[in-house]
Structure 1
Amino acid sequence: MNSLRYFVTGGPMQLAMREWRQMGKWRGPISAFAIGALLGVTGPFGSQTALAPAVKYAFWMDVALVGFGAAAAAGRVLSSAALGGKQATRIVAIAAASAVPMTFFVAWAMGVVRPGRAFSPLQLLGLYPYVALVQLLIAWLTSPDNWMSAAAPVEQPAAAPEYPPEFVSKLPPALRRDILALEAEDHYVRVHTLHGSALVLMRLADAAALIDSRLGLRVHRSWWVAKDGVRVLERTSGRAIARLVDDTVVPISRAHLSAARTVLTG
């Protein structure tokens, strides 16, 4: 089960679908070939027994290629704005519109490979839904937002966490970068940076709640430390400490020790 999940979500399947999307202009002809082959195998409309194998496959390949052309033409005529911009509505509309000329084409092509075969108006109406189903598949495959695009989204790098403006703006301009730790001092927070420190009128709990947890964590009731500001975790005189890059020593309480080890040494 795990290997299947890897194949679908993070392994060969993701790679195959990404490469499929990147094939661009070749995706249509390849899809037409695949659909033509499928129709040749299934042999709809009585072609399985009525046509020789070579004729049958050539017939359905031609039908599939013309079907892709009809869908492409319908897609140019039917703008997304006119259909409300919904992808599903656009696909159905393209299939329905392109199936009209394709119904006549299929009827004509059947007459070519089976001389004397003719379709009455009523038979053409009965043929239309089957042609529309094929065109629906074609319209879906040629859509830029089909399931393959949705199943394998382009991975975007996660945005780097930043200190919130409402916190940073309280600091002098020279101390708004290289933050190492926050220390509680009565009703204030002393912000330690590589360039000095400053007091901010704010409770430590409120400051810690504002800051993205990816930047650091609370290690003591009086201290919050930045991940990038910690050089090493140590144990001295039976107590755990975090030594910052400027050699400031920050105590780590027992309640926060496990989280500190996980976050600061991970």
Structure 2
Amino acid sequence: MNSFHNFVTGRPMQLAMREWRIMGKWRAPLSAVAFGALLGVTGPFGSQATLGPAVRYPFWMVIALVGFGAAAVAERVLPSASPNRRSAARIIAIAAASAVPMTFFVAWAMGVVRPGRTFSPVQLLGLFPYVALVQLLIARILSPNDPPSPAAPVVAALGSVEQPAAAAYPAEFMAKLPAALRRDILALEAEDHYVRVHTRHGSALVLMRLADAAAIIDPRLGLRVHRSWWVAKDGVRALERTPGRTIARLADDTAVPISRTYLPAARTFWTD
């Protein structure tokens, strides 16, 4: 029992979770390569007959890579009305949104591999459902998996249940901050491909996506309140209603907007 407990709560499990997150960063490009190769083999939508292998494989590889990029952009831009980011409605929305620019890209790519091939507006409309079908498969592959859930409490020999560990920020996240800013975190703010970490003692930029940071931080420590903001539970002084919106007033007097998507969860989180 002790050895099992040490595995669940000790360093081996932490290392396994870290490896899981590292592999997740490579999932999209590796999936794009594999998906493009599969499309090259199957040759869908008549490409098996019209394109030779030397053209068909690179063609579908490029289509898959650009398609994954378009779906990734749509996934970040489209708001999520539900905590379940793998819902069917959201995957369909991502596929439809990314299929619009991809239809024009596919039409252009077809003109490259088959010189003289052009698409009229009506033909573009006919091409859209096929592109949307491919983007639907890509969106399903790209949809984030739920991170590994913490191990269930271990039942000791006498039948008692071990209390869950206190919430703490991940060591790999805190290591990215200057030593003086590794405490009293108030909020995280998205800035392009960076996250600005606001603390009571100043702020610093960390190279990572806000969604990735929020995913590895214990949910007991804070809450995503906006596409660009994650706020610490102890960092909020009050929720304030202003004309047309609600804001979280931080301990340093910063006003953080709360979007309608996250407002019900925010009210529950800071009133419990």
TM-score range, shorter chain: 0.3 to 0.5
TM-score by length of 1: 0.48
Q: Report the structure number with the largest CA radius of gyration.
A: 1
Structure showing the higher helix proportion among its residues: 1
TM-score normalised over the length of structure 2: 0.47
